[in-house]
Amino acid sequence: MRVTEQQVFGFLVNNYQRARSRALRLQEHLSTGKQVLQPSDDPSRFHRIVGEKTTLVKLEQHLRNVAVATTRVELADTSLQGTTAALSRIRQLAVQYASDTNGAAERAIGGHEIKELLQHLLQLGNTEFDENQPVFGGTSRHGFATGLALATPVTVTNAVADTLTVKIDGVTSGTIDLTGGTETLGGPELAARVQSRINADSTLVAAGKSVSVTYAEGRLAVSSNSEGPTSKVEVVGGSARTLLGFNGGSAGVGTATFVTTVTTDAAAANSGGALVSQGEIVNTSAASFDNYAVRFTGSGSFDIVNISAPVTVTANSANAGRLGRADAGIVDPQRITLDTYEIQFTSASQYSVLNTTTGTTISTGNSYVSGGAIEFDGLRVVLANGQQGGPATGDRFAVAIAPKTVLANQPYTSGGPIVFDGIQLRITNGSSTPASGDLFHIVSHTRYAGDSGSHEVEVADGEVIPTNVPGEQVFSGPSVNLFDAVQHLLAALRGNHKAGIVESLGDLDRALSQVTSAQGTIGALANRLESTSFALEETKVLATNTLSSYEDIDLARTISDLTLQEYAIQAAGETLGRLFDNSLLKHLR
């Protein structure tokens, strides 16, 4: 077969081009440091490289998850350390002011520091990881309305006491009918019934509003399913309002994890037919954490008094016994009447308690024990024998609260807002207007507005780690609401009630134990996150090395191959030049 010059020339040109192409590819490998740049370079190796890169992306995401979770856990731990320190200081002050060396003035001064520490505890409980991401609030925060304590089971009766009207996030429902007959329901059943009927209301459904209703601590609580500052619930009417404990109670919006609020209620002795709304704090900076009462001086006017005050016990000047006041204070502010009383000794061993405002006898034939508590209408009085003896027949002791007037002679308008010291409530005419002497209590509380949701992060395919402890397990339960415990101590200090101060020590100890337990949980989470991060880092190193073995070039070999290709290009070029010199074209020039 004849081989022409054209065939030889074409063969050499093709070799020259292939050599240049290989050289360009080697230069590209050398510049990128990668030996597989596209699937055609090595299909099997390319598939492995894609798999390892996918693994690395997942590992890096899991490491970022762990880093975020670690920050959240560390913030929770810091907050709990601050909580422990604040509670320890509060307990120290409680021990100090429980001493008989302190009087009303000293205890009132101690109350100032306790109030500041309480504010600090609320700040710690409301710590946020990021904007609107509460550390202790579960996954969201909801507006709520909590009723008064119920005696269950509750009987709801058609057309007698079976309707409610609620306002959810500013939208007022129609009349909600709870039953078509007569039903006796336990707490959980009652909560389920109220929830289902509220959520079936056509007005609320059309507005996209719904609630969750729970029964805990003997109370119904209605929470809006929306969240944040606009999330709010009010029970504003219905024939079952009082039956279900919503002639009073507390309310709050979903702004904070722990909401400072007040619980309202109508005194049992009221003769008028007015109803009171759930109380709420509308200005937290003005809140005093004190307890109050609205006292009607007539059907059209009222006073507001601060009942976080001392209880006075005054011995009658004609007393013949050797008996004195040892202690006195308020033990249940929701039973306070603001009436005056008298303890009368009918013998050296027995006494009666009289309400001198109403002229009624509260109890009689009571056995006297020196240093024993005498309790009535939310008050506690302790009388003790002197060195020279005890009581004598006919001895009398006047008992009264010395409340501070906050607002006097205020005009009453049914349904109008009553606002003072950051608190807001409404009193409306029910079966009748308020009567002179009617009393409505306003008691400071702190409620949990978060949920029991858990923040979880994925640390491996299908494996998640929780990163939070819900605040209801740390601050408001399971054994004690530490904010309420401190508020009770504050009231005892302001009321110069030694026994109340001493009793608060037990709650403070339980609160410290509760927080310590949460710290243990947080510590365990931190350890788990740390070990998980270490394992992920090691896995990432292995995956990176594996990827490198599949993807990275052998630098020395690539340089050597490139040098050989450059020699080949040079040789091919010289060969082509010589071939051209010997060709017919040269002779034809």
Nearest CA to 421 out of 301, 282, 295 is that of 282
CB contact set of 70 (below 8 Å; sequence gap of 6+): 526, 529, 530, 533
Cis bond upstream, residue 153 (ω within 30): yes
pLDDT band for position 554 (cuts 50, 70, 90): very low
pLDDT at site 538: 84
2-27 mean pLDDT: 55
Lowest-confidence region among 32-36, 134-138, 359-363, 382-386: 32-36
242-265 pLDDT per residue, tens:
999 999 999 999 999 999 999 999
Lowest-confidence region among 214-223, 376-385, 542-551: 542-551
281-304 mean pLDDT: 94
Percentage of the chain exceeding pLDDT 90: 67
More confident: 494 or 13: 494
272-288 mean pLDDT: 94
Contact yes or no for 410/302 (Cβ under 8 A): yes
More confident: 131 or 68: 68
pLDDT band for position 545 (cuts 50, 70, 90): low
211-238 mean pLDDT: 95
477-515 pLDDT per residue, tens:
888 999 999 999 999 999 999 999 999 999 999 999 999
pLDDT at site 558: 47
State the chain's maximal CA–CA distance in angstroms: 154
More confident: 24 or 318: 318
CB contact set of 453 (below 8 Å; sequence gap of 6+): 138, 139, 140, 470
Element (H or E) spanning 508, and its range?
A: helix 498-551
pLDDT at site 557: 58
Tokens found for residue 383? 């009388």
State the Cα angle at 139 between 134 and 142, rounded to 5°. Answer: 85
Q: Which domains does the chain have, with CATH numbers?
A: 57-135+490-537 (1.20.1330.10), 140-246 (2.60.40), 259-309+402-447 (no CATH), 311-401 (no CATH)
Residue 67 has pLDDT above 80, yes or no: yes
82-126 pLDDT per residue, tens:
999 999 999 999 999 999 899 999 999 999 999 999 999 999 999
Element (H or E) spanning 409, and its range?
A: strand 404-411
321-374 pLDDT per residue, tens:
999 999 999 999 999 999 999 999 999 999 999 999 999 999 999 999 999 999
pLDDT at site 478: 84
pLDDT at site 36: 52
Percentage of the chain exceeding pLDDT 70: 83
Q: Provide the b/e sequence for 208-245 (b: ≥16 CB within 10 Å).
A: ebbbbbbbeeebbbbbbbbbeeebbbbbbbbbbbbbbb
Residue 24 has pLDDT above 80, yes or no: no
Please provide the DSSP assignment of 214-228 as one string: EEETTEEEEEESS-S
Cis bond upstream, residue 478 (ω within 30): yes
Q: How far apart are CA 255 and CA 227, in angstroms?
A: 8
Q: How far apart are CA 430 and CA 345, in angstroms?
A: 42
pLDDT at site 576: 55
pLDDT band for position 463 (cuts 50, 70, 90): confident
Lowest-confidence region among 369-383, 453-467, 554-568: 554-568
Lowest-confidence region among 260-274, 366-380, 444-458: 444-458
Residue 45 has pLDDT above 90, yes or no: no
| Three-state secondary-structure class, residue 370 | coil
403-444 pLDDT per residue, tens:
999 999 999 999 999 999 999 999 999 999 999 999 999 999
pLDDT at site 577: 60
Indicate the DSSP class of residue 213. Answer: E
Residue 301 has pLDDT above 50, yes or no: yes
pLDDT at site 468: 82
CB contact set of 105 (below 8 Å; sequence gap of 6+): none
Q: How far apart are CA 423 and CA 281, in angstroms?
A: 5
pLDDT at site 464: 86
Lowest-confidence region among 28-37, 114-123, 542-551: 28-37
| Three-state secondary-structure class, residue 503 | helix
Mean pLDDT, the chain, rounded, equals 87
